[in-house]
Amino acid sequence: MMSHIVSVDQFVATHLKVKHNSAGEVSITLPSNPNIQQPPPPDNSGTRITTELSRRGAKSIRGAVYLADKDHGGMVTFITATFDLEARERLASEETTIGAEVRRFLDAWRSRFRKKGKKPPVFIWVAENPNNSNPHVHILTNVKVEYRHFRTWARGLEKLWGNGTVHLEKLKYAKAAGRYLMKSIGYLAKGTNGSQGSVVGQRYGVSRNLKPKEQIDYIHVGIEGIIAYRKMITESCGQKLNDIYIHEYGMWAPPGFGIDQLLDWFFSNNFFKT
């Protein structure tokens, strides 16, 4: 019995690419055709400077907060670490970067936990530099600190940080930690009030065990399904439908949504019924 061989063009014309991860994030896009030459990737050589947290960074933070809440007790403490004049001069001269200082600080913090035989904490951090003159870092962690110990902890962390002051806040709702973090850097603000400033090098980071594991599948929807999908993207681009974001490249569901729920919604959508 002869097997039915499908050409690349036929496959691309009848399938959708579904990317999903362990945080419950799901995206559906059209698969790329290897027979069509793609534009070369951008040149990323040299020193990288960013002026805001990217969409990709925001998505990484959302996924990390979800996994922290699911597997690590949630992000319950919010930390702001500043840079004093001497530290700012070292940043300005490119003797160091914000990312390098944060990694050193968090590695030292984890090391203290390991030496005491405790499970190392997990972290999510974002740097900002309002008006390009006030660099500082916001950090989320699952380390629980009682209010009465805040000053003691702050003094100890300032010694470990070695660049300026450290301020601690207790988060009431761990599930809202990601939104709180992005609001604090102006990511959710409109216009110039949301200026995050220029940052050299790494702008954000998440602990390794807070990075969701990804999987890619391809689902057969037929030519009619592809037509319905394209119609949905064209007519609903930029909209949010049932917590699903429709953009020019496809659709995306936030952490916790799940692949089954998104596919059920997709196939029951009115675009398939017209």
Helix or strand or coil: residue 126? Answer: strand
Whether the Cβ atoms of residue 77 and residue 114 lie closer than 8 Å to each other? no
Q: Is residue 3 part of a domain?
A: no
Residue 5 and residue 229: Cα distance in Å, rounded? 25
Give the model confidence (pLDDT) of 109-164 as tens digits.
999 999 999 999 999 999 999 988 899 999 999 999 999 999 999 999 999 999 99
Question: Do residues 115 and 94 both lie within one domain?
Answer: yes
Within a 10 A sphere around the Cβ of 163, how many other Cβ atoms?
24
Q: Is residue 180 part of a domain?
A: yes
Which residue type is seen at 246? I
Residue-range definition of the domain harbouring residue 267:
8-37+212-272
Question: Do residues 253 and 131 both lie within one domain?
Answer: no
Instruction: Tokens 């014309």: give the residue.
Output: 13
Give the model confidence (pLDDT) of 81-119 as tens digits.
999 999 999 999 999 999 999 999 999 999 999 999 999
Question: Do residues 200 and 64 both lie within one domain?
Answer: yes
Whether the Cβ atoms of residue 200 and residue 112 lie closer than 8 Å to each other? no
70: enclosing H helix or E strand: helix 55-71
Give the model confidence (pLDDT) of 163-209 as tens digits.
999 999 999 888 889 888 888 877 765 444 457 899 999 999 999 99
CATH number for 162: 3.30.70.1910
Burial class (CB in 10 A: 0-12, 13-18, 19+), 126: buried
Q: Is residue 73 part of a domain?
A: yes
What total of structural domains would you count in the chain? 2
Extract the runs of DSSP E, i.e. beta strands, from 175-221: 199-200, 204-206, 214-220
Helix or strand or coil: residue 112? Answer: helix
Tokens encoding 63: 């996924």
Percent of all residues in the chain with a pLDDT value above 70, rounded to a whole number: 89
Whether the Cβ atoms of residue 26 and residue 262 lie closer than 8 Å to each other? yes
Using alpha carbons, select from 102, 118, 135 the residue that is nearest to residue 206: 102
Question: Do residues 75 and 129 both lie within one domain?
Answer: yes
Question: Do residues 58 and 182 both lie within one domain?
Answer: yes
Q: Is residue 2 part of a domain?
A: no
Residue 263 and residue 27: Cα distance in Å, rounded? 10
- The pLDDT value recorded for residue 271 is 60
Which residue type is seen at 65? V
